Structure 1
Amino acid sequence: MARHIVIGVDGSAPATAAVEWAAADAQRRELSLRIVHVCQQRPLDVDTTKYCARALAAAADRARDLTRGVEVTTQMLSGNVVDTLIGESASADSVVLGSRGLGGFAGMVVGSVSMGVAGHAAGPVVVVRATSAVRHGLVAVGYDGSEHSETAMRYAVDQARAREVPLHVVYAWQASILSPYAAAYSSLLEDACEQEMQAAGERVARWRDRNPDVAITDETVVGHPVSVLIKAGGTADLVVVGSRGLGGFASAVLGSVSHAVLHHLTCPVAVVRPREGEEPR
């Protein structure tokens, strides 16, 4: 099992928030920290190496200030930022990034690097927008029974256990409109909704039985998954989603729900992909 968290930094404020989040996570889960900076030469710069070194040193100092007994290492890397961070994810417990870096447009909520890594990394990618002084004492996870959501559930349970907080599981079911006269099918729709809720409850019950030390609550809502997860994120310290769910195309690396959640939630979001050969619990 990987025993370190990779943090990608570039000296931006969101990257500093990512360091602070990862430091707390490493302390709770007894992991080490590997802080990396992908140093790219820019045409108008004589040498960016000194800036890269300062960004790394500042991030390491911040991580050490916030932890006790956590091993902190740094490395300056070269190459394409997204590809390099994806490569780092293969041997890491998780990758933690700021929502956007110095190269992004000011109006963007999530930058291209964060989106690219979240869509292709080998394991969990946590995207942090800003440090928050508010603690809700809750982890939320979107769970629809798909392979990706099973892996997301495992990460969410581990996070809730390490934080000693409840885990709230949400499932959004979208009823199909059968015809322009759907009112005539109200009884059929009610039966289908009841069956969906029962199946969702049974899926969560299995996780509850296997993890009696974690308080797990669940909620099935008729509505769009994005709006349901955004609402859940308003009272959560972390929202966990699979990189794509049951409604996604098999070829999609990042589903529309996880994509939208990254863009709309202000709390940290973990996007989780199953590792190759990984068996859901």
Structure 2
Amino acid sequence: MTGPVLVAVDGSAPAAAAVEWAAADAQLRGLALRLVHVCERRPPGQDGLEPCEETLDVARDRALALTRDVEVEAALLTGDVVEALLAESVTADSVVLGSRGLGGFAGMLLGSVGMGVAGHAPGPVVIVRETSVVRHGRVVVGDDGSEQAAAAVAYAIEQARARNVTLHVVCAWQSPVYSPYAAAYDTLAQEGYEYLTRAAAERAAAWRESAPDVRITDAQVHGHPVHALIEAGRAADLVVVGSRGRGGFASALLGSVGHAVLHRLTCPVAVVRPRPGGE
């Protein structure tokens, strides 16, 4: 996808951090940057679009100050926030959102609005909580062998390449619950873990072969996938997951499991949904 990096602004601190992240991402990956402010419909008698225009102008000035040779455009939209962002996302490389915001973005990650954008946008949605001055030199991605995870890994490889950092692939597997009276439990669990471990290692080897310019490390963890991601993400500049998946990563960022990840990780988190037709 060669569209712009799309970032939603609303005047809040997380949205400002999102603008900074999106500007750096557009610069690193040689993409245009598009800033969008959705000014929701206001009841009669309230202020017009002037405050919205000012919010957008401030964000655009900040983006211009942070970039060089990057095409920066800004658009003021009206209507429903989610609908507007989803419509814009169709032609965007990715969507960048602050974790919380003002007005229409309030509670974006903790309510239905953010979940709707992350779960339905046709491409990566990056959630930024705050500006970070610490660089760990690592991108972390969750893998479970699903189509969604494959799209997440592809985006993570692109991010690691642009940043010239290591990509760390985490595949976590949690044992299914068996009856304690099942005599073959230990054997089945061990065989299942060994099979999944081999498959994950083979996928990582294939990614290393297809992207020899990116340093890719991998880890197969016997435990809860969310715990594995949180632990790996503590020393990451970006954590990437598929929007849905198999096993422990299913609905990893669109349900209660994702809430735990978002509450405990302060680095940006990218939710990647495969584009229709594999674009």
How does the TM-score come out when normalised to structure 2?
Answer: 0.92
Equivalent position of 1:235 in the other structure: 235
Equivalent position of 2:55 in the other structure: 55
Residues in 1 aligned to 2:238 and 2:114: alpha-carbon distance in whole angstroms: 17
Within the alignment, does 1:198 sit opposite 2:193 as a pair?
no
Q: CA deviation at 1:252?
A: 11
Equivalent position of 2:226 in the other structure: 226
SS of equivalent residue, structure 2 residue 221: strand
Residues in 1 aligned to 2:217 and 2:196: alpha-carbon distance in whole angstroms: 17
Residues in 2 aligned to 1:194 and 1:114: alpha-carbon distance in whole angstroms: 37
Aligned-residue identity in percent: 65
* Partner deviation per Cα, 1:101-152 (whole Å, 9 max, x = no partner): 1138988864543222111101100000000111111000001110100000
* Partner deviation per Cα, 1:236-278 (whole Å, 9 max, x = no partner): 0000000001138999994654454334321100000011111
Whether the 8 Å contact between 1:201 and 1:218 is mirrored in structure 2 is yes
Residues in 2 aligned to 1:263 and 1:120: alpha-carbon distance in whole angstroms: 21
Equivalent position of 1:98 in the other structure: 98
Residues in 2 aligned to 1:157 and 1:69: alpha-carbon distance in whole angstroms: 24
Residues in 1 aligned to 2:5 and 2:43: alpha-carbon distance in whole angstroms: 32
Q: CA deviation at 1:191?
A: 2.4
Within the alignment, does 1:86 sit opposite 2:79 as a pair?
no
SS of equivalent residue, structure 2 residue 40: coil
Residues in 2 aligned to 1:117 and 1:20: alpha-carbon distance in whole angstroms: 20
Residues in 1 aligned to 2:252 and 2:157: alpha-carbon distance in whole angstroms: 25
Residues in 2 aligned to 1:105 and 1:79: alpha-carbon distance in whole angstroms: 13
Whether the 8 Å contact between 1:104 and 1:111 is mirrored in structure 2 is no
Residues in 2 aligned to 1:200 and 1:250: alpha-carbon distance in whole angstroms: 17
- Give the 3 Å change call, closer, same or farther, for CA 208–266 of structure 1 in structure 2: same
Unaligned runs of 5+ in 2: none
Q: CA deviation at 1:199?
A: 1.1
SS of equivalent residue, structure 2 residue 276: coil
SS of equivalent residue, structure 1 residue 209: helix
Bigger mean CA deviation after superposition, 125-134 or 101-110:
101-110
Equivalent position of 1:148 in the other structure: 148
Residues in 2 aligned to 1:154 and 1:219: alpha-carbon distance in whole angstroms: 17
Within the alignment, does 1:74 sit opposite 2:77 as a pair?
no
Q: CA deviation at 1:196?
A: 1.4
Equivalent position of 2:214 in the other structure: 214
- Give the 3 Å change call, closer, same or farther, for CA 112–16 of structure 1 in structure 2: farther
Whether the 8 Å contact between 1:143 and 1:171 is mirrored in structure 2 is yes
Q: Residue 61 of structure 1 aligns to which amino acid in structure 2?
A: D
Equivalent position of 2:187 in the other structure: 187
Residues in 2 aligned to 1:34 and 1:105: alpha-carbon distance in whole angstroms: 18
How does the TM-score come out when normalised to structure 1?
Answer: 0.91
Aligned positions, number: 279
Q: Residue 101 of structure 2 aligns to which amino acid in structure 1?
A: G
Unaligned runs of 5+ in 1: none
Bigger mean CA deviation after superposition, 141-150 or 97-106:
97-106
